[in-house]
Amino acid sequence: MDSQKTTLNDIPKLAKHIAKNLRGGEIFALVGQLGSGKTTFVKALGKQLKIKHVIPSPTFILLQGFEAKVKNRKKILFYHLDLYRIKNFKEAKALGLTEFWGRPETVSLIEWANKIKTHLPKKTRIIKFQSPARRKNT
């Protein structure tokens, strides 16, 4: 699994870079404390992929899917999951995530992915977000 640390200032540039290189099938594990920028990143990437709908935080919805377009203009399904309220992998699996993650016609972004880290596919890319308050102390 690839890992990268990200701050709020990096988000627009990172979203643009990732959007340029997406082909479909990618899975991103977004890890960080509350307010560290995970949902902000999802929204920025959605904007780069021409998603026409507002992407709200899915904390109470858990899973949302949107039609998007990757670089080669190929249509994909952009899945946004928020596992904050999930207790274990069994609950996460009940959402159907293993049925679509890694499929060539999807891109999956999983907030709070650390809750299921031992079940994530090996090709998952981990992006670690650091909250502004924590950065001041480190």
Q: What percent of the chain has pLDDT over 70?
A: 88
pLDDT at 130 > cutoff 60: yes
For residues 137 and 115, what is the distance between their CA atoms, to the nearest angstrom?
25
Q: CB under 8 Å to 46, separation ≥6 — which residues?
A: 55, 66, 68, 78, 80
pLDDT at 70 > cutoff 90: no
Look up residue 124 and give its DSSP letter: P
pLDDT at 137 > cutoff 70: no
Q: At 64, is the secondary structure helix, strand, or coil?
A: strand
* pLDDT single digits (tens) 12-65: 999 999 999 998 999 999 999 988 899 999 999 999 998 988 887 766 778 788
Q: What is the average pLDDT across 94-109?
A: 90
Domains of the chain (ranges; CATH) run: 9-118 (3.40.50.300)
Top pLDDT among 4 and 76 is at 76
- Average pLDDT of the chain, as a whole number: 85
